[in-house]
């Protein structure tokens, strides 16, 4: 820098000296004064100083610019993965080859593993998995977080849940003739909570199986062999034997569970036990006590697991049957329900236990039973017998709706007991066209609607009955089945039943 200044200043000084010498050597030119010379020298000095300042400022500006400007990044060249590159001609260049580099963090890919048996997409369908290359040229393995699918349902499990349950065509055993529980009905049950359990009890030969079969879907015109619950055949009636043994169950398409039981305190069951020389359990002293306790077990069981119980009679009335129902109510196991109220309730403690709806069905009713006086007397008798009972016997099913018989209505009767009348089911009552009309004779006055009309009315009223929960929790069909199995075991091992059996000795 000093050398450059010397080069620039030296010619200027020499020129100044030459001017001075020339001025001094030419006196005749007195017009050029010393003041002008000094001005010229001062201007030259200023010019030199400006040039010097510019020369000194250029390096400083270059250093400031370099400090403010960030370092340039290396160029990023995006190339396709090796699996996606198409084969083609290779061109070589004389210059140095630049390897593709990519500055990126390690990616985290969340993927869902496919279940076995499901179709998978081949890797080549989308060009394969992209390779990740670092600055150094090494390949980084891709980190994959796999979703845990061990607890997810398999497709077969989902299809099995969505598939409809198998259709039941005939009843199956719930409790066999040896009073043992069976699990054959479990495959017909679902996880639905919309179901109603309807049971039936009664004496021998009263028509229990016939009525509950018609409620389950059969019609009076069907042959008795097509009924879902087997009924007494002619040869069975001739030898005065019972048809149903143990407890049978049938599930309709409307998810109504019908339960049929063997006749209570039946002489036919006692005779069969004696003739078969069956060994009596040691806890019972006689065969009569054994049959009575078995009947109590079944009725107490139905009072615990059923929403509705039909009490079928073929004549009015057997007081032994009514007392038997009261005994079963007293000995039934406690099952607390969230909603158990009825008309005669007096406090919350009395309503903590569950009690079903009881419907008295008078089968083979005569003409005079359909009159206002007789029907009202029958209702009053039942109401007085069950005056202190907690069973729900009022306000649900009745013949006195005013639609089937205009003379029978709630206004003309003094009680609203669940009483329903069914006439004798004969060919004329089930098929009106079969009557002899060749002589233009008017049909006989029966005093009641046809049997088909009455059984259809009973079916509708039973279907629309209120359904109280059996327990505090809302049970599904499968839960109800397990609950019924535990109830049956609790009934047989009940200390109240054992104490009552001891009193019968």
Name residues whose C-beta falls within 8 Å of residue 170's C-beta, 6 or more positions apart in sequence. Answer: 228, 250
Higher pLDDT, 497 or 146: 497
CB 479 within 8 A of CB 305: no
pLDDT value at position 45? 84
The model's pLDDT over 287-332, given as tens digits with 9 standing for 90+, comes to 999 999 999 999 999 999 999 999 999 999 899 999 999 999 999 9
pLDDT value at position 125? 43
Higher pLDDT, 231 or 135: 231
Assessment of whether the complete model's pTM goes beyond 0.85? no
Q: Which of 357, 366, 373, 240 is nearest to 309 (CA)?
A: 357
CB 19 within 8 A of CB 34: no
With pLDDT > 70 as the criterion, what percentage of the chain qualifies?
66
Would you say residue 75 has pLDDT above 50? yes
- What is the pLDDT averaged over residues 36-56? 80
pLDDT value at position 92? 46
Residues 47, 53: Cα–Cα separation, whole Å: 10
pLDDT value at position 388? 93
DSSP three-state, residue 231: coil
DSSP three-state, residue 91: coil
- What is the pLDDT averaged over residues 403-423? 88
Would you say residue 450 has pLDDT above 60? yes
pLDDT value at position 148? 52
pLDDT value at position 120? 46
pLDDT value at position 172? 94
Separate counts of helices (H) and strands (E) for the chain: 13, 9
- What is the pLDDT averaged over residues 83-109? 49
Rounded to 5 degrees, φ, ψ at 303 are -70, -15
DSSP three-state, residue 135: coil
Would you say residue 338 has pLDDT above 60? no
pLDDT value at position 504? 86
Give me the DSSP letters along 340-399: ---TT--STTTTSB---EEEEEEEEE-GGGGSHHHHHHHHHHHHHHTTT--SB-BSS--S
Name residues whose C-beta falls within 8 Å of residue 232's C-beta, 6 or more positions apart in sequence. Answer: 205, 209, 242, 243
Name residues whose C-beta falls within 8 Å of residue 384's C-beta, 6 or more positions apart in sequence. Answer: none
Would you say residue 7 has pLDDT above 80? no
**Helix segments in 426-476, DSSP class H:** 427-430, 451-463
Residue with the two structure tokens 């009636």: 237
CB 67 within 8 A of CB 13: no
The model's pLDDT over 461-473, given as tens digits with 9 standing for 90+, comes to 999 888 889 988 8
Going by pLDDT thresholds of 50, 70 and 90, the confidence category of residue 377 is very high
Residues 73, 88: Cα–Cα separation, whole Å: 31
Higher pLDDT, 198 or 40: 198
Residues 80, 128: Cα–Cα separation, whole Å: 11
CB 357 within 8 A of CB 324: no
Would you say residue 378 has pLDDT above 80? yes
pLDDT value at position 139? 58
Number of neighbours of residue 192 by Cβ within 10 angstroms: 11
Torsion of Cα atoms, 45 then 46 then 49 then 53, to 10°: -170
Would you say residue 113 has pLDDT above 80? no
Would you say residue 345 has pLDDT above 50? no
Would you say residue 171 has pLDDT above 90? yes
- What is the pLDDT averaged over residues 415-444? 70
- What is the pLDDT averaged over residues 469-490? 93
pLDDT value at position 344? 43
Q: Which domains does the chain have, with CATH numbers?
A: 177-503 (3.40.50.300)
- What is the pLDDT averaged over residues 164-182? 89
Name residues whose C-beta falls within 8 Å of residue 28's C-beta, 6 or more positions apart in sequence. Answer: none
pLDDT value at position 166? 79
Query: Burial level of 290, CB count in 10 A (0-12/13-18/19+)?
Result: buried
Would you say residue 256 has pLDDT above 70? yes
- What is the pLDDT averaged over residues 338-366? 70
- What is the pLDDT averaged over residues 196-204? 95
pLDDT value at position 53? 74
pLDDT value at position 392? 94
């Amino acid at each position: 820098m000093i050398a450059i200044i010397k080069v620039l200043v030296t010619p200027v000084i020499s020129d100044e000296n030459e001017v001075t010498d020339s001025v001094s050597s030419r006196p005749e030119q007195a017009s050029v004064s010393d003041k002008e010379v000094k001005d010229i020298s001062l201007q030259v000095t200023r010019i030199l100083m400006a040039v010097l300042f510019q020369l000194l400022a250029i390096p400083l500006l270059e250093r400031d610019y370099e400090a403010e400007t960030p370092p340039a990044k290396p160029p990023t060249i995006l190339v396709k993965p090796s699996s996606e590159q198409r084969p083609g001609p290779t061109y070589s260049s004389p210059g140095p080859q630049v390897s593709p580099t990519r500055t990126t963090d390690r990616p985290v890919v969340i993927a869902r593993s496919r279940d076995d048996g499901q179709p998978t997409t081949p890797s080549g369908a989308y060009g394969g998995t992209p390779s990740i290359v670092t600055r150094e040229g090494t390949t980084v393995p891709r980190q994959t977080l796999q979703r845990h699918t061990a607890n997810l349902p398999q497709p077969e499990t989902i299809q099995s849940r969505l598939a409809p349950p198998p259709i039941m065509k005939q009843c199956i055993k719930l409790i066999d003739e040896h009073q043992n529980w069976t699990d054959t009905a479990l495959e017909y049950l679902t996880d639905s909570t919309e179901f109603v359990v309807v049971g039936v009890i009664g004496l021998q030969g009263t028509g229990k199986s016939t009525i509950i079969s018609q409620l389950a879907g059969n019609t009076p015109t069907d042959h008795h062999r097509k009924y879902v619950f087997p009924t007494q055949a002619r040869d069975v009636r001739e030898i005065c034997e019972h048809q149903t043994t143990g407890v049978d169950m049938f599930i309709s398409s409307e998810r109504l569970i019908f339960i049929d039981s063997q006749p209570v305190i039946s002489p036919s069951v006692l005779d069969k036990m004696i003739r078969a020389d069956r060994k009596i359990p040691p806890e019972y002293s006689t065969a009569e006590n054994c049959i009575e306790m078995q009947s109590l077990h079944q009725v107490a069981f139905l009072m615990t697991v059923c929403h509705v119980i039909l009490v079928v009679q073929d004549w009015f009335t057997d007081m032994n049957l009514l007392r038997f129902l009261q005994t079963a109510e007293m000995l039934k196991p406690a099952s607390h329900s969230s909603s158990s109220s009825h008309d005669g309730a007096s406090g919350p403690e009395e309503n903590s236990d569950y009690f079903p709806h009881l419907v008295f069905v008078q089968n083979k009713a005569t003409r005079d039973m359909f009159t206002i006086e007789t029907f009202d007397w029958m209702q009053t008798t039942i109401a007085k017998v069950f005056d202190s009972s907690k069973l729900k016997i009022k306000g649900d099913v009745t013949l006195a709706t005013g639609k089937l018989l205009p003379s029978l209505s709630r206004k003309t009767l003094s009680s609203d007991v669940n009483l329903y009348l069914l006439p004798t089911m004969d060919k004329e009552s089930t098929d009106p066209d079969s009557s002899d009309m060749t002589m233009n004779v008017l049909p006989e006055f029966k005093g009641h609607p046809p049997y088909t009309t009455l059984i259809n009315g009973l079916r509708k009223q039973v279907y629309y009955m209120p359904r109280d929960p059996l327990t505090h929790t809302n049970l599904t069909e499968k839960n109800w089945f397990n609950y019924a199995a535990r109830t049956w075991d609790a009934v047989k091992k009940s200390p109240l039943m054992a104490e009552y059996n001891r009193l019968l000795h």
